[in-house]
Structure 1
């Protein structure tokens, strides 16, 4: 053994033993988990890059495919609902949704980020079973890497959306961006909370990842993405309307529309949307905290279950 090797071995032997795994305690455990993730931020960055590269490996068009699904959905909904069913507002014809293409792409942009985070996080721990069995790192880095990759794809779609508003001469300005920032904060926090919880549960019950894909498809229609809020306002009132608005993603989609759908300024929106988003953000932060503690409690047996 060389002198350098012997010195490194001696330094390693002198290091105190540290427990591997989540720390007990609802508050202290959370703080320690945050410190552990921050200590592995370089690994998290590598996992995000690996997630992006693996998704488009051997693909000729590369990141174009991150736009293919929302563009395909936009085309289908725009033609089938906007044109064939007459949802798009046409001069001389009352009713309809003004600038239907911008309206629907705004909702799809928000929904695609939510779907990518929740579905991707749900299967993230199982997908990294090989790494989890070999070495200990904070298990949260695996679902968080999915969040990072989803945000990258969201940035591409958002650029297209902003470019479309410029093309039609309706670029959002002023207070509209406050709605966007608040809605985006709710979206990221709420979807990450769901993703962490489902990622842990999916290790023990693999049916979860298939159930979530079906639920995402169903819940798409529980938010005003392909239809405007005015139709909900006319169809529901009282407790039913309050229940509809209790869905955080409904508020997020409406917040995105208030930001980017300039042609909808004359359209009705729920009263006190900004206050509702603030309340949802507070609840989402609490859910994220609780989800992380559930994840921390369940991760101790991940390697054995995988």
Structure 2
């Protein structure tokens, strides 16, 4: 039965079958119904009747916003459909990891509230929780965006939408999980976290915008590159582990400046503190702890990095797309 035809139910209103029930694509996603030009890509064999329009730019994403929304909802539904607690897992995992890190670094290794910001009442647990939640968005988006094309090759070959929607949908699906956990951060900040609720809350806007731009750019490059070079998927966990321990998620900036290397080479500390990723995560923490707000140099470095990554990733994706489609 076509997904366009409603399914009547006895004694009740007409119900439209879902995508999972029919196994068919909505008409606006089906490339067989596309009236767009084929371009330079010429499928062969069984796919000769399908049309594969090349990526046409960011305006195409606006025109295909319904497809993007469908992919985001599908991603979230598939991820939690076989679980008992459902979306609660998106909160339990980062919250559990945050308290494990707090136990190791805050209790066992002796980090305390005074290490966060000198003269501030902010607690170390708020520092850890706010960092782990935002890192969870970053890490999951990067890791899953790398497989957003190769893992859905069968679906991609029957869709007429630009291929950018696949890595972008992953970024926004993981962002939805981050938003779901935001009330937990608010509760911790308002109770024993000693968070500040004032104008510093506005830091959330540039923090989310810059992180989304950065993730979209990285996602573009990894999604296309991983189809052509499978070693990227193997090497990525090591890179993410290095970034995790190198982005001040588990320790404060004072630990770097007070270290032997920081005292002998002050410029190393300066470069580290203005690392775009470190600045980005500090912006998220500045939402609750104003003393962690980055300076103008740090904001400029994070903004420049986000813009460069987004447009560089878009350019790389566009250049590799013909080869990616052939490989799929």
TM, length-normalised to structure 1: 0.81
State the Cα distance separating 1:20 from its structure 2 match. 4.2
Give the conservation status (yes or no) of the 8 Å contact 2:226–2:232. Answer: yes
State the Cα distance separating 1:21 from its structure 2 match. 6.8
State the Cα distance separating 1:261 from its structure 2 match. 3.0
Question: Structure 1, residues 185-239: CA drift from partner, whole Å, max 9, x if none?
Answer: 2211112211111111001011212211221112111011111111112222433
Give the conservation status (yes or no) of the 8 Å contact 2:122–2:289. Answer: no
Give the conservation status (yes or no) of the 8 Å contact 2:95–2:133. Answer: no
| Structure 1 residues 17 and 114: alpha-carbon distance in aligned structure 2, compared to 1, 3 A threshold | closer
CA distance in 2, matches of 1:194, 1:71: 26
The one of 226, 235, 238 aligned to 1:211: 235
Structure 2: gaps of 5 or more residues:
1-33, 42-53
**Pairing of 1:254-273 with structure 2 (within 5 A):** 254-261=282-289, 265=291, 273=295
Give the conservation status (yes or no) of the 8 Å contact 1:109–1:157. Answer: yes
Give the conservation status (yes or no) of the 8 Å contact 1:110–1:252. Answer: no
**Pairing of 1:149-228 with structure 2 (within 5 A):** 149-168=173-192, 170-228=194-252
CA distance in 2, matches of 1:210, 1:21: 32
Residue 245 (str. 1) matches residue 267 (str. 2):
no
| Structure 1 residues 132 and 222: alpha-carbon distance in aligned structure 2, compared to 1, 3 A threshold | same
State the Cα distance separating 1:135 from its structure 2 match. 3.5
1:287 match: 309
1:304 match: 326
CA distance in 1, matches of 2:142, 2:55: 24
Q: Which has the higher contact order (CA 8 A, sep 6+)?
A: 1
2:98 match: 74
| Structure 1 residues 63 and 78: alpha-carbon distance in aligned structure 2, compared to 1, 3 A threshold | same
| Structure 1 residues 100 and 301: alpha-carbon distance in aligned structure 2, compared to 1, 3 A threshold | same
State the Cα distance separating 1:68 from its structure 2 match. 2.4
Q: Alignment partner of 1:208: what SS?
A: helix
2:73 match: 49
1:5 match: none
TM, length-normalised to structure 2: 0.76
| Structure 1 residues 170 and 246: alpha-carbon distance in aligned structure 2, compared to 1, 3 A threshold | closer
**Range 167-176 or range 56-65, more displaced:** 167-176
Question: Structure 1, residues 136-161: CA drift from partner, whole Å, max 9, x if none?
Answer: 32000100110111110010122210
Question: Structure 1, residues 50-78: CA drift from partner, whole Å, max 9, x if none?
Answer: 00011112111001111222122112111
State the Cα distance separating 1:258 from its structure 2 match. 2.0
**Range 282-291 or range 218-227, more displaced:** 282-291
CA distance in 2, matches of 1:176, 1:60: 38
Structure 1: gaps of 5 or more residues:
1-14, 23-29
Structure showing the higher helix proportion among its residues: 1
